[in-house]
Amino acid sequence: MSVPRPRQSGPGGPVLPSADDRAGGRGDDARLLGPSGSREPARPLEPAGPAGPAGAGLASAGAHRRSGAEVGTPSPEEPVPDALVEQAIQVIDTRAVRTVFQPLVHLVSGETVGFEAFTRGPSGSAVESPLALLRGARAGGRLTELDWLCAASACAAARSFHLHASTSVFLNFEPATLLTPCPEDLARMTRWAQDQLRVFVEVKEGMLVDAPRATFDALTQVRAIGWGIAVDNAEATAASLVLFPLADPDVLKIDLRGVRGDSAAIAAMSDGARLYAEQSGASILAEGIEDADDVQIARAAGAEFGQGWHLGRPEPLQGAPVSPHSVFPILQRSPSDAAGTSFHTAGQQVGTSIAEGRILQPIATYLVEQSIGHGPPALLMVSFDERSRPSADDIERLADVVDRAAFVVVAGPEVGSGPPARRILHLEHRRAMGADWSVIVLGPHYAGALLARDVGDTGPNDSRRFEYLVTHNRDLVLRMARSVLSQTSTVPA
């Protein structure tokens, strides 16, 4: 199985030179992800770096933000005073947090259509600051419980205020919290919220990229109880743009603060957000609106809703509850939309054929080049045939593709995992979807997949036969990608 390095940029699109090209040869025999006779030992990709801290959660629904502005997360190595830890634990034990709410506004009508919940410690205490509360809870090993406490506190405040059922409440969660059972004394309030509140769970865009499996597992649970999903701090980067369709958020929250004064950055971010929103029906909310000019910028960026000091600061709920005319839509999806698929199921839909590996190799090569050669970079998922072994040059060529694709999942003998910067994840099961060999490409403007299953021939690798299917059905390719992503981990086997 060999992996050709794409060719130099030319009329057909930008690509990279192969090792043979750089040495003066043509590299005509280079092939991608097909059977080969190579038995040269493989050089594993670099091991994955350590995962970032999980569980910041609803502390960032108020502990990560202060008065509507982001607060930096403390370094895990930074010493935390014992007294701070003790006070944070006491606050958690006594359930003594306070919740304030920042308005979410419909930019055309100016009406408040929802709120984002932010949490504070007791007034005058050392953990009144959300950042201090977050630090103490993390150091005391109680961060997930703090997350649930913040959510329950926000729901209780909304209940006491008799918030109208069509008014949305945005709650920040870490995936680790959503995958951990809620403490029993808090679960009663969260169960009430499932039936009585219009809740949107916010996750940071970076979570999609840095911990995709945990994030998607958590969001699947959110969907199952009927809540909406919002992606916060959405910069619509190449990696996140290809993952948005897998997460399927109802709301993208683009942050104007990080790009204020940079018109090119605003245009790039808004273009990506508009692209996903128009393809999916999702809404765009602009946060960080601090003056009237920001409102114009938000509207130009495609935002229908806004948030920021110009529109309202975080404070306790007050006044009389009202029923908004505009609401954040929760997109309706059938169970099959979120489901994965398998070689057998996909084959029943599009049909399969039989061919030798040498016939399928050019198709695999073409598909991979679509992930980097034309238009925005795409999501690339590949699995190597287990009966063949990638050579060191195969791995080097694959690394070149990885450096240019938006996000990559790789599986195969001795491939290992790559560091987060290269976005290479590891598959827990070699045979993704029951296929021995697969190439899946999913981008904003392109979708294609090759799945192949070894029929058990012996003899030279190139002449071995495979039952295979090729499809460009975007919905089917999307389900394939979800199936693969559900098997990923960031730790080498």
CATH number at residue 38: 3.30.870
> Is residue 442 classed as helix, strand or coil in its secondary structure?
strand
Quick one: pLDDT at residue 332? 79
Q: What is the mean pLDDT of each run of 10 residues along the chain (493 residues)?
A: 37 28 33 39 32 30 34 58 95 96 96 96 94 93 95 96 96 90 94 93 87 87 91 82 88 87 85 89 94 93 95 94 92 65 88 94 89 81 71 70 79 50 56 79 91 87 90 92 76 36
Quick one: pLDDT at residue 281? 92
The helix-helix angle for 238-247 and 474-485 (nearest 10°) equals 100
DSSP 365-433: HHHHHHTTSSSS--EEEEE--TTS---HHHHHHHHHHHHHSSEEEEESTTT----GGGTEEEESSSSGG
Q: CA nearest 371: which of 32, 38, 49, 46?
A: 32
Would the pTM count as exceeding 0.85?
Answer: no
Whether residue 38 lies inside any domain: the answer is: yes
Number of domains forming the structure of the chain: 2
Helices and strands in the chain, H and E counts: 16, 18
Quick one: pLDDT at residue 26? 31
Quick one: pLDDT at residue 312? 96
> Is residue 126 classed as helix, strand or coil in its secondary structure?
coil
Whether residue 8 lies inside any domain: the answer is: no
Whether residue 274 lies inside any domain: the answer is: yes
Q: Are residues 247 and 233 in the same domain?
A: yes
Q: Are residues 268 and 378 in the same domain?
A: no
Q: Are residues 312 and 241 in the same domain?
A: yes
Q: Are residues 342 and 231 in the same domain?
A: no
Name the token pair of 20: 């043979």
Q: Are residues 423 and 296 in the same domain?
A: no
List Cα–Cα distances, 194 to 227, 255, 367, 444, in angstroms. 7, 28, 43, 33
Domain final position from 293, 311, 333: 333
Whether residue 7 lies inside any domain: the answer is: no
Q: CA nearest 203: which of 367, 58, 401?
A: 58
Q: Are residues 355 and 419 in the same domain?
A: yes
Residue type, 132: A
- Bridge partners (DSSP) listed for residue 172: 202
Quick one: pLDDT at residue 59? 33
Q: CA nearest 461: which of 372, 389, 369?
A: 389
CATH number at residue 258: 3.20.20.450
Quick one: pLDDT at residue 106? 97
Whether residue 5 lies inside any domain: the answer is: no
For residues 399 and 422, is the Cβ–Cβ distance under 8 A?
yes
CA angle 212, 213, 216 (to 5 degrees): 80
Whether residue 213 lies inside any domain: the answer is: yes
Quick one: pLDDT at residue 36? 42
- Phi, psi for 271 (deg, rounded to 5): -65, -45
Q: Are residues 25 and 155 in the same domain?
A: no
List Cα–Cα distances, 447 to 11, 115, 123, 197, 436, in angstroms. 22, 37, 53, 37, 20
Quick one: pLDDT at residue 374? 67
pLDDT in tens, 221-267: 898 888 999 999 887 777 888 888 888 899 999 988 878 888 888 88
Secondary element (H or E) of residue 171: strand 168-172
Q: Are residues 72 and 128 in the same domain?
A: yes
List Cα–Cα distances, 361 to 3, 197, 477, in angstroms. 10, 53, 19
Q: Are residues 254 and 352 in the same domain?
A: no
Q: Are residues 322 and 352 in the same domain?
A: no
Distance CA 415, CA 83 (A): 47
Quick one: pLDDT at residue 65? 37
Whether residue 323 lies inside any domain: the answer is: yes
For residues 412 and 430, is the Cβ–Cβ distance under 8 A?
yes
Whether residue 485 lies inside any domain: the answer is: yes
Domain final position from 333, 359, 393: 333
Q: Are residues 94 and 231 in the same domain?
A: yes
> Is residue 451 classed as helix, strand or coil in its secondary structure?
strand
Distance CA 98, CA 117 (A): 10
Domain final position from 312, 333, 354: 333
Q: Are residues 417 and 435 in the same domain?
A: yes
In terms of residue numbers, what domain contains 39? 19-50+338-489
Residue type, 280: S
